[in-house]
Structure 1
Amino acid sequence: MDWFATIDIYCERTGPEFWAEPLNALSNLSFIFAAIWGWVEAQKRGRTDVVTVILIALATLIGVGSFLFHTFANAWSSLADVIPIWTFVALFVLVAIHRIGGIRSGRIGIGLAIMVGIVAILFAFGGDGGGSQTSDAATVSLDTLDQEASANSLLNGSEQYLPAVLALLAFAALSRRKGHPIAPWIAAATGIFMVSLTLRTLDLHLCEIWPLGTHFIWHILNGVMIALLFQGLIRSPVAKPG
């Protein structure tokens, strides 16, 4: 694999330049703002435990990693994008299971092993946080990717986020059934994620009529989603182990 081969899979990118995706790059500030708000609220409420701090740090790394991918746009920056995303997803799932469902720590360890396995499978089958695809060629053209999208996936790679969709739906149902205070936060985050995932899916398909694409809105809305998840987690009590 050529770690420095240019990856061009978004409407906004029209060349290999660093600032070829300004909206896709700068919209990652959404994750930074989510992390800052989470940190401020965690300090205010005395919820600066290790796990919460790690989640906030991971949200920051998501913004940084995605910024790197949408500026350098190559294989190594794709990893900088994907690793924080799936690490955040795996850790948040486990924390939510513990704090909402009241699952004991020992079972969380088993869950961690399962989540690591799932992430490994996602990597093995080429799934990544940015929907990136690598090539031995210097640049992957949008025309080629449009053809691949039509032939292989009308979802534009968004099917890789099915586990995240299922997890949010499960937590929304679980928290509502238990009457947990985090329920409205998760419900709002789930709704926003559905909208953002739809916009991510439409990005390449709308290039001809909307050259800027919709990927930058995916970033902004996902930052909002993470902010809501943080606020719900920080403001809610931890469920008693069952």
Structure 2
Amino acid sequence: MSASAALIDLYCERTSAELWNEPLNALSNIAFVLAAIFAWRWRARRQQGDIWEALLIVLAGSIGVGSFLFHVFANSWSQSADVIPIWSFVAGYALLTIYRSTEHNLTRTLRISGIAMFVTIGISYFTGQDIVSVNATSTLPLNGSLQYAPALAALLIFSIIAWLRAHPAKRHMAVASLVFCTALLFRTIDLTSCEATLGMGTHFVWHLLNGLMVGILLHAMIVRMPPIKRHI
């Protein structure tokens, strides 16, 4: 097997190099696609939006597609298909949230985004070694979940700011934070729970809860943080 096609074995459910060796981990990604479908309907019902909002919805659906491919093929190219949409969505959602919170003030958006990027780089510096392993027997702190520390930090900060400002999306952000923390727990215990779950693991629950979280965040963006005026 070539280096580019080398098997990436990270999860309890995978026991061989067969394509459909992670059925639960693969099929549970339908949660992201459903979140995107519902979000598109919410957007259509409101009859107002911008192209960035539409792009976020597409990215949400592509998270499910990319993760599905990774859990089917489990190699380097499918891992890229998994990781790129996730972090693109995180970055895009953060930017659009800041942009709309500043009432479309580009200067303030860039200034706040710069600060957020600096903080994210700082967090990633301490957690960046916890990203991936090609072997599930390799031990990583929290089973690799530390890589999501920047996303969790951003979500918690947005939640705190929303509550302090009594923003209409404050409950959405708080619930999304709680769901994401719970999802991280299930991702973290996947390998250690393998025997107790009869080889199923808990990674598929991470997908289901993250799909729910993405749906909550998109609902917050579309319903509670609509654009000031129509751009398209």
Q: What corresponds to 1:169 in structure 2?
A: 156
Kindly indicate whether the alpha-carbon contact (under 8 Å) linking 1:101 and 1:174 is maintained by their aligned counterparts in 2.
no
| Aligned partner of 1:204 among 186, 191, 195 | 191
Note if 1:92 corresponds to 2:79: no
The 1-side partners of 2:110 and 2:101 are apart by 16
| Aligned partner of 2:203 among 184, 203, 215 | 215
Alignment of 1:43-192 (within 5 A): 43-102=44-103, 104-109=105-110, 111=113, 115=117, 125=128, 128=131, 132-134=132-134, 140=135, 142=136, 145=137, 148-149=138-139, 152-153=140-141, 155-192=142-179
**1:207, CA displacement in angstroms?**
1.4
Q: What is the aligned residue count?
A: 223
The 2-side partners of 1:82 and 1:174 are apart by 28
Note if 1:36 corresponds to 2:37: yes
For residues 47-71 of structure 1, the C-alpha deviation after alignment (integer angstroms, 9 at most, x for no partner) is 3311110100100110000000000
**1:180, CA displacement in angstroms?**
1.0
The 2-side partners of 1:225 and 1:116 are apart by 25
For residues 138-197 of structure 1, the C-alpha deviation after alignment (integer angstroms, 9 at most, x for no partner) is xx3x4xx2xx32xx42x0111111111111111111111111111111111111001000
CA 1:109–1:100 in 2, change beyond 3 Å: closer, same or farther? closer
Aligned AA for 2:100?
R
Aligned AA for 2:8?
I
**Greater mean deviation of Cα atoms: 204-213 or 71-80:** 204-213
Which sections of structure 2, spanning at least 5 residues, go unmatched? none
Aligned AA for 1:6?
L
SS in 2 for 1:205: coil
State the Cα RMSD in Å.
Answer: 2.6
Kindly indicate whether the alpha-carbon contact (under 8 Å) linking 2:25 and 2:71 is maintained by their aligned counterparts in 1.
yes
**1:118, CA displacement in angstroms?**
5.3
Aligned AA for 2:211?
G
The 1-side partners of 2:18 and 2:118 are apart by 35
CA 1:165–1:236 in 2, change beyond 3 Å: closer, same or farther? same
CA 1:108–1:127 in 2, change beyond 3 Å: closer, same or farther? farther
Kindly indicate whether the alpha-carbon contact (under 8 Å) linking 1:94 and 1:112 is maintained by their aligned counterparts in 2.
no
Which sections of structure 1, spanning at least 5 residues, go unmatched? 135-139
TM-score, normalization: structure 1? 0.84
TM-score, normalization: structure 2? 0.87
**1:116, CA displacement in angstroms?**
10
